Amino acid sequence: MQGVHVMKRPVFVVGCPRSGTTLLYSMLVAAGGFAFYRKETYLFAVAHRFPHLDTDRVRARFAKEFLAGYLGHVPGLDIEPIVRQAIRGCETPSDFLARLMEAVALAQRVERWVEATPAHVLYLREIKRAVPDALVVHVIRDGRDCALSLERQRWLPTCPWDRGAAVAAVYWEWMVRAGQASGRLFPQDYLEVRFEDLIDAPAETLKRVGLFIDHDLSYDRIVKNPVHSMYVPNTSFGRNANDFFDPVGRWRSPLAAADARSCEGVVGPFLQALGYEVATPTQHRVRSTMTRAAYINYFRLKHAAKAHTPLGRLMTSARIWTEQPRADERPVRRIPNVSDRELSGPEGKVAIRNCARAARQGGERGGYM
């Protein structure tokens, strides 16, 4: 880490998009002690557009693109001088991230920072090289629920003859496996958390995360200080303000039965390996096997081309910073420490599921619903 100030180890929250990274990020910020900044920087995902920040001219162009996007506007924080100071002397965007986030934390008088770009699950090795003391929390969600949410976003290219949910499920498996493979390289700094546990047993799950990152994650305090997706649920599914909000097990709905079966057809064995219940017997059908193999290879090749070839500079645009809708950015209320008593049972579940029951529908892309 840069600078003379000693800070606690930074935390990266990663996972397949729509898996719960936004929810966990929101909980960490609500606990206090973390810098309040945009959760998604995409800096490792776009780093290959600027392989070298070796001249003032290149650094100035990088800073201009960075500040022009949603990362350059944060209520209550003058980010421009922080960015321009952090970019000085940087050789790569990866170097820049640690300097930027530490400077933001110092400006807000907190002791650490957290970054939660879901796609960074594909860049854990690069993250550990650039930020050696980083702690990684990988959020994993039931692949069927994740696929249903991804399919509604229409982010993934799909052949006309393939069901979109099945392709999304293959994408989910590819990203989860990538994160697990990298995590095995530094097991002491890597933790997996299930989205379902964050919903159904939040106090116990946060306690486990808190022990891993060495941070007081008092569930009582977090519930009293809702921010981000705790305040405005980031859902792909329309809902009424009075509806009970339950994002777990949507695949069980009769309306989702066909999509759920198609998901299980391509990722059923992996779902079972992760401990998820499979509703229909998994069969290795020729078409499902071919679909799975074709799309996994497509995702791998596309990622390799973007991340490791000169073509990647053309395939990745800095528009990724400007196309993100703004999140709810109410100033974070700093709640005095309260009792460490943890809510449990139905009361706790309702609190975390419906933390802002009357909140308006909305939220930013790339989150947990």
pLDDT of residue 279: 80
Work out whether the CA dihedral 115, 116, 119, 122 comes out positive or negative.
positive
Q: Give the separation between CA 54 and CA 27, rounded to whole angstroms.
A: 37
363 half-sphere exposure, CB direction, 13 A CA radius: 25
Residue with tokens 């499979």, as numbered in its chain: 278
Residue 256 belongs to some domain of the structure: no
Of the two residues 7 and 12, the one the predictor is more confident about is: 12
pLDDT of residue 71: 85
Residue 55 belongs to some domain of the structure: yes
Of the two residues 198 and 287, the one the predictor is more confident about is: 198
3-state helix, strand, coil in the chain (%, to 5): 55, 5, 40
Q: Give the separation between CA 138 and CA 184, rounded to whole angstroms.
A: 12
Residue 237 belongs to some domain of the structure: yes
What average pLDDT does range 237-254 have in this prediction? 61
pLDDT tens per residue across span 160-186: 556 678 889 999 999 999 999 999 999
Residue 123 belongs to some domain of the structure: yes
Residue 262 belongs to some domain of the structure: no
Residue 187 belongs to some domain of the structure: yes
Q: Are 364 and 234 in contact (CB under 8 A)?
A: yes
What average pLDDT does range 79-91 have in this prediction? 89
pLDDT of 365 over the 80 cut:
no
pLDDT of residue 114: 95
pLDDT of residue 316: 57
- 367 alpha-carbon distance from chain centroid: 6
pLDDT tens per residue across span 314-356: 555 555 666 554 444 444 443 333 233 333 344 344 444 444 3
Q: Give the separation between CA 213 and CA 10, rounded to whole angstroms.
A: 9
> 10 Å Cβ neighbour count for 308?
10
**What is the domain count for the chain?**
1
pLDDT of 237 over the 80 cut:
no
What average pLDDT does range 39-55 have in this prediction? 82
Residue 263 belongs to some domain of the structure: no
pLDDT of residue 349: 43
Of the two residues 1 and 28, the one the predictor is more confident about is: 28
> Residue 156: which region, alpha, beta or left (left: phi > 0; alpha: psi -120 to 50)?
beta
Residue 103 has which token pair? 């400077």
Q: Give the separation between CA 109 and CA 26, rounded to whole angstroms.
A: 19
Confidence of residue 73 (pLDDT cuts 50, 70, 90): confident
Q: Give the separation between CA 231 and CA 199, rounded to whole angstroms.
A: 15
Instruction: Indicate the average pLDDT of the chain.
Output: 77
The DSSP secondary-structure symbol of 50 reads: S
pLDDT tens per residue across span 30-46: 899 998 887 888 888 88
Helices (H) and strands (E) in the chain, counts: 16, 4
Confidence of residue 115 (pLDDT cuts 50, 70, 90): very high
> 10 Å Cβ neighbour count for 354?
15
Helix or strand holding residue 180 (H, E) = helix 164-183
Domain encompassing residue 118: 11-153+179-248+313-353
Q: Give the separation between CA 367 and CA 117, rounded to whole angstroms.
A: 9
Global model pTM greater than 0.85: no
Of the two residues 310 and 206, the one the predictor is more confident about is: 206
Residue 208 has which token pair? 């486990």
Q: Which residues, 6+ apart, have CB-to-CB distance to 224 below 8 Å?
A: 335, 338
Long-range contacts of 157-160 (CB under 8 A, 24+ apart): none
pLDDT of 216 over the 90 cut:
yes
Residue 305 belongs to some domain of the structure: no
% residues pLDDT > 70 (the chain): 71
Output the domain CATH number for residue 119.
3.40.50
